[in-house]
Structures are given as C-alpha cells and as structure tokens.
Structure 1
C-alpha cells in the first residue's frame, strides 16, 4: 500500500518500547501478528508497522472442521511466520460472533467446538503476546477505516459479501459493537418477507438473497439445459459456484442475470435502510460477490438510492484492501492492545 494511513487514536508507542501486559513484560518488538479465521480459508501475516506485510501465508480451512483443527492449523502457520521472533501483540479476525470485550469466541455457525472459546487467552498462552479479537466484519470495517477506502471519513459502514453477508460500523475511530455485541448484522436484515428461508430462520434476509453460496444453490435448481450456465458447469449442477453464476451472467444467461440482480437489489435495500437509521459518511463493500461485474454495482447503487430518504447522501465505495481488510483490521486491533482500549 502506498497511501498515507491514519492510525487509530490509541496506538501510542506500542511498537517502539517495552510494554507490560498483565503480569508479563514483553521484550522490545515491533512485530504485529495478524490472524484471519475465514469461512473457507485462513490467513496469517506479520508487519513491522511499515504499511506492508513482511510475511504472509494462507491455508484452506481444515477438513473435517473442528475448533481444535482450526486452532492447530492457525497456530502452526503463525509460528512458521514468526520464525522464533516475538510479536508485540496479536490481532484476530474471526468468522463468527465474538465477545470482543472478553476476547472470546461465542460460536461458529459452521464449525463445531468454538462455543465460548477464550481465543485471546489461548494465543497469549501459546505465543506469549497479548491478543485482541473481533468478528471478521468488524475487523474488516476497522481495516478499511484505518488503512483503506474509509480513510478521511468520520464514519464507515463496511459490508462483506462472500460466503455470507456481514457488516461493521466504525465511527470516530471506534467499532460500534452494540449492547449485545451484535451491531452491524446487515446480512440478517429482512428485505423480502416472502422470500426464501435463511439459515437464521427468517425469510428474505439480505444474506439469503445476496451471498455467493445461496446464489449458487438457487442457480442449481433453476438452470436450464443448454444455457450459458449449463455450458460453464458442463451440465453438472453441483459444480456451480457464485463465481460461475457471475461468469454466466456476463454471457447473457437469464437465470444468472436474475440472481445477480436479485443479490444487488437485496444488498442495496439493506444499505438504504441502514443509511436511514445510521447515516454513515461512507459504505465500503468488499468480498467475492463484489467481483460480479458492473451490472451488480449499478443495481446495488440504484436500489440503495431508491430505499434511502432523498435527503441522505449515499456514498458506496469498493473495498481497497480486498481480501486483506480483516487482516489489516486485526493489525489495528493489535495496536490498541497496549492501551487497554478497544478501537
């Protein structure tokens, strides 16, 4: 990254002096370890505060899935990156509900065993550095606010549209978690009460209509023989992914176009409703589905504008940090550890 980054107000001198965390005196270090427990892949990176990674690694999420396998895989990747060096602090983005105040994972919707796991304690025990944790949407919001498309904005609502749909709000340098730590859940805003059933039990949620896996699932049942979508998957419905739906839409496939436009409309309505309630300065949208093409973005903008009050300015920008937004948010979380304040 080459842009000038605005740091969180609480970074102080964490990276350049010896710090006491709890009862431990850490050695002088300027290394930050960032970890991202994603839905389908894990990422780990190390930075020395020079606005770029000095090391980064990726791995597929372990299969069969379990909290133990997830943690063991991430720990091994982190140790490999650190190569015997001591991190000053650790920041973590986790794909599921998190109690950020306690640095504890509440649960994972997709992987068993993560219920009430004190992940911050585990990491400090095994890597010898304090850790700060938040969910992936909040981490992504903090990353884009601090280092990406949200720079120079007083408030940013970040949305990731990929395996699911998540959201996070950062205002004046602080993540807004809400009374129960559940603020920002735009993915489960109901925009079509007569729509299909969502995993959460409601009908017509933004996530059910806009996310990649759900688009793919609907395409499998609606695909017609000989269509562009049928050709791309060689007639094998099980091979259809969200990316394949987007590719078929660019080839004029009617089913794919309808699903892409439905995705963008649902998210646009969610953005418009959120704008009516929160009125953030900017919405930043990232995730794999945002690569669906210009038509997706056009429909998104139009639906948001049609839903929001006319007095409200709708500013929607694509994420700058792309897949690294949660990792850079983890960096910002780690930098705040030494002050005892959440960003």
Structure 2
C-alpha cells in the first residue's frame, strides 16, 4: 500500500525478489467475495485480514468499489476481492457501475465466496445464484449472521433451501460479528488455490492507495452518521493529501460532494455540528491508518446529479481502469 495507485506490473516487480525463495508448495490466488448488499461481505473480509480495509455500515451499498485485501502467510497468500453488493433496481449510472464492478469479480479468480444471510433469501440472492450457475468456478457459500439463531437446528430448512437454489462445492456457517467460522473459510479456500509464488509482495495488504482508503474512511462516517437518503447522494474527493515533514503530520483536505443544496445543509448540520462530528471520527481512523498525526479539513459542495453522470463518475474514480 502506498500513496499512489500501482499498476499490477509494478506490484509484481516489487515481489519478484521474494518469490525466488518461496517453497514450491506455496499457494496463492484470488477469492471473490460476492452477494447482495448488506450481507456482511466487507466485514468478513476485514476479519479474515485481521484489520479494517473495506468500510462498513448498516446501510446497503456501502461498498462501491472493488477492493483487494491481501492475506499473506509463510505458506499461502489469499487475495480477497471485495465487491459492491449485486442489487436489483436503481437505474442511475452509479448503480450500473456497481453492478458491473461486482460482475467483474468473476474474471480470473480461483474460487467464489457467496455470502448470504442466515434465514433470509431474497430476489437479489436469487439473481446472484443464477449468475453462479453458468460459472466454471468452485463456489463456497458462507451463511453469515448465524449468531442470530440460538438453536442452530432452526437453520436446517434454510440450508436445505440453499442446497436446492445454489450450485455449491461447500457451505460454511459463519458470523463475522462473533468471529465464528473464519478459520474454516481459509482452510476451504486453500483447497482451490494453485501452487505458485505469492502474487503480491508480503508487505502489501491491498492494491489500493492510502489516498483512496482515506476517502473511503470519510465516506464511511457519512454513511454511519446521516439518514437514509443523503449518503447515497454523496461521495468524497480528496483534494490535498501530503505529509508535512516539519510539522510531522498529514495534511488532508477532502471535499464531500452532494447532489442538492438541501443535502449540503444536512451534511453540515446545525451550527456545523454534524460535519465536525464526522471529521473527528474520520480523523481518529486516519491516524490509525497512517500511523501519524493528521490535520483534516472537510468541505461540502453541491454537484448536481453526479451519481447519474458517467463523466463525473469517472472523474471521481468510479471507472473500470483500476485493475488488479
């Protein structure tokens, strides 16, 4: 992870020296984490990595981009591909982008982790299952949030339904919240990873830049703090991201874009209380991410219909040019 996005070629070059000393039994490969919105995909990946990489919130469609989380040990490297939730409806350009990004996760991966919510099967789950029928890839179904059921026997009818609905190679009950079943996921994924040297250098946790992660941290605070409507009409653009050697701190200026003037007032809050609260929360996470002091400034700007403007989306980083 660095201040800038790296091409795959640059990342591979960074790991070439390490690969020569790797055992011939070493395994590495990609595991796509898919499912409908709000089933816990990002939380599962964060727990597998042992650190927070993808942002989370109780609201659906929190994840908007494809993010690679890299889990490296002495014997294997699993690259988890976290994706936006596959969803029905939503005709804006950003919805099209998110669904396209989610679908692209199937390309060149070794195994698929299909996350569903224990006891709940929706039309969106059904749509994802239908896509899996045509894939020549191993599928591991992760039944998340099993901690909601005190009597696990109550899950049997649901699991039976899953076996009829989904073409799968394995099923694992998990709870990202309670950290149940995580080691089982890793063991099952390794059954399908090829023997090959690590794809990324062992000090990489993601192929995304710290600048990108900083914007995501701020957007998470928007998702968690604001009501139902505003977060979906907002995004974050980092305008300044630099380290001041003299002061020994990061200087970060971020622009919160909303689609309507009324949303701007909501984000700012009465006497600026809400934006101050979000800034304080984001700064704490940024200090943890950057391991240094942080000076964060937030502004809010109206950019009408940015979420339905393909050109505006591309300029804000919502494009297909970020490859692994």
Shorter-chain TM-score range? under 0.3
State TM-score, norm by structure 2: 0.25
